Amino acid sequence: MKLLKKISFNKICIYIVISLCCVFLTKILKSEFIFKYLQENIITLLVTLLAINTATSGLIASKIQDLMLQHKGISFKNSTEEMKLSLLEQIILIIISFIAVVFQNSPIIIFDYKELIGNIVLTFILIYAIHILWDTGNAVFISIDTIEKLNDQ
């Protein structure tokens, strides 16, 4: 539960606004490609990104462990907490995407703007997942910079 508190409300609001803009732009352009793609592939895409993130986090964790053995007293508690949060966020996104796709494709659930809301949710999930991937990639470069700085000492 402590990890869930770290998920930024501001970040979520920004991604919702970006999702709204993307959905309305695609509606103006009358392009349904991205929504069809997301409905058919979002879960596979998220599981793939989770696998990439898990492998990358494992690499970072092993480098952190090496650094902690070489430089006693150094702490990476914040880094490891962020890696855990990242994995949790991705699992939550997979669950939300599953629910969104089921609701969006259900002939029983009918209400105004169902398709629009579903498209906004799927676009939000994609944007959030891309941010997580970018954040994980960024962590690799931060780790490399940290290692270089510690080796220069």
28-61: pLDDT as tens digits: 999 999 999 999 999 999 999 999 989 988 888 8
Q: Which residue matches tokens 């993307």?
A: 22
Residue 80, pLDDT > 70, answer yes
Residue 89, pLDDT > 60, answer yes
Structural Rg of the chain based on CA atoms: 19
Residue 77, pLDDT > 70, answer yes
Mean pLDDT of 100-116: 92
pLDDT of residue 8: 76
Burial 2-24 (b: 16+ CB within 10 A, else e): eeeeeeeeeeeeebbeebeebbe
Residue 5, pLDDT > 60, answer no
Q: What percent of the chain is modeled with pLDDT above 90? A: 51
Query: Whole domain around residue 114: which residue ranges?
Result: 2-152
Alpha helices in the chain (DSSP H): 2-5, 9-28, 33-70, 77-105, 114-152
Q: Taking phi first (over 0 means left), then psi (-120 to 50 degrees means alpha), and beta for anything else, what does residue 74 get?
A: beta
Query: What pTM did the predictor assign?
Result: 0.84
If one counts the domains in the chain, the total is 1
Residue 1, pLDDT > 50, answer no
Mean pLDDT of 75-81: 75
Residue 5 and residue 67: Cα distance in Å, rounded? 29
Residue 153 and residue 144: Cα distance in Å, rounded? 15
